[in-house]
Homo-oligomer: A and B are copies of this chain.
Amino acid sequence: MNSFFRVKPFQEAQQMLVGPEAPSLPKRLETVPLLAGLGRVLAENVFSPVDVPGFNRSMMDGYAVIAQDTFGAGEESPVRLVLAGEVMMGCIAEQPLQSGQAMAIATGAMLPENADAVVMVEYTEMITGGQAGDQTLIEITRAVAPGENRLRQGEDVAADQQVFARGTRLGPAAIGLLAALGITTVPVFMPPVVGLISTGDELVSPENNVVGARVRDINSYTLAALARKHGAEVRLYGIIPDEFTLLRETMAQALVECDIVCLSGGSSVGTRDLTQQVLASFPGHQILFHGLHLKPGKPTLAVRIKDKLVFGLPGHPASALTVFRVLVYPLLAPSGPFDRLSARIDRNVASSAGREEYLPVRLEKRDDGEWWAIPVFGKSGVIRPLAEAEGLARIPLAKEGVKKGELLAVIRL
């Protein structure tokens, strides 16, 4: 594998993973209760089983009428109709409306048979006793056209109409529409399964005591947290020592159980070589790229093994988190409008043209009403400042550094 060291521009690597030619990960579908569908992606087109509304419905508080009866009505020439009762909310009118009659109706109630419009209560007056005699009359001072203030059966959603296409991500309002249609379970894609393997003889698990010169495994936790944040399923394979057979066995198991496998750690040359040997031992492996014009993330490796993807990520926590966010995360959760903002960088940052660079930043809204991005990295190898990172600020390929106050795109962590 070493002989095929394929350094790629970052954009090209991204395109290989999410572009039109990208290898597609296995798609599995499951059916979940409606509320559990929030944030999930529809695996099938959804059609309405019913008309919504299911009946001709009033859009106003007022009186259901036959529109023709009101023609010519005005302030100076009111039309009088006989009040033939009231349609209660959720009920069906006891009798059809006859010409010359009106029925009281509230917003959302069902129009009586024959009624084709609603006169708003503001344009009416009720007359009882005296000239009205035994009847109650409704005086109408504004004509309505047929269909006015009426929502026709099926006008909102018609039965058999497609309401959502396969691939739609369900937000809160979409969940509401499905409830309105009586759809209480939804077919969705199962989230991708991401396997995380930490390598490096120096690592111990966070729950263990650190002895001697060992350090705790951080990457399994940052990457798992980020992957789970948008619903990916994560499997942690723990820390695997730098030993060919052990690493190969774990990798083989992860390739069966996961869609995407990420190896992190292995900052030492020996571990890097071992990772490559292990991946090269799987028949039909295909190196997508090995090395990126990206900082941090230069030594990143991506290999396709059958229909699965394997990433070799750098060992340093900030680097592993960055590469995972910009390359792997987009495979789990497509980017939406709220995943990115523009912010002014808080200090001059040197950078080399010819590679894309990402800086972990925290964000601060200043008195000028703008977001400022404050880089949080410290000395090399230090992790505490990173814990404040809310996003990654991008210094584009062509820039040789940025000046304090320049606007940069910041992606959400």
Contacts and interface: CB of A to CB of B under 8 A. Distances in A.
A3 interface: no
B413 A171 contact: yes
B179 A218 contact: yes
Nearest to A51: B210
Contacts of A256: none
B383 A180 contact: yes
A396 interface: no
A11 to B, nearest CB: 17
A229 interface: yes
A379 interface: yes
B381 A151 contact: yes
Nearest to A241: B90
Interface string A237-266: 000000000000000000000000000000
B225 A206 contact: no
Contact of A106 (B178, B182, B268, B341): B268
Contacts of A384: 52, 156-157, 163, 177
A202 B338 contact: no
B412 A222 contact: no
Contacts of A157: 384
A217 B38 CA distance: 17
Contacts of A398: none
A236 B334 CA distance: 31
A321 interface: yes
A381 B92 contact: no
Contacts of A108: 202, 215, 267-268, 315, 381
B382 A180 contact: no
A212 B173 contact: no
A101 interface: no
Given A175-B225, A268-B89, A388-B173, A383 B52 contact: yes
Instruction: From A57, A109, A184, name the one whose CB has the most chain B CB atoms within 10 angstroms.
Output: A184
B217 A179 contact: yes
Contacts of A18: none
Contact of A156 (B179, B208, B382): B382
A132 interface: no
Contacts of A107: 267-268, 381
Contact of A221 (B175, B220, B224): B175
Contact of A222 (B52, B90, B172, B209): B172
Interface string A317-346: 100010000000000000011111101000
Interface in A253-303: 267-269
Contacts of A268: 89, 106-108
A312 interface: no
A55 interface: yes
A371 to B, nearest CB: 6
A176 interface: yes
Nearest to A107: B267
Interface in A343-372: 343, 360, 363, 365, 371
A119 B2 CA distance: 28
A201 interface: yes
A35 interface: yes
Among all A-B residue pairs, the 4 with the closest Cβ atoms? A90-B202, A110-B213, A176-B222, A177-B387
Interface of A: 34-35, 38-39, 50, 52-55, 57, 59, 87-92, 106-110, 151, 155-157, 163-164, 171-184, 200-203, 206-210, 212-226, 228-229, 267-269, 315, 317, 321, 336-341, 343, 360, 363, 365, 371, 378-384, 386-391, 412-413
7 contacts: A59-B380, A59-B381, A90-B202, A91-B212, A108-B381, A176-B219, A180-B383
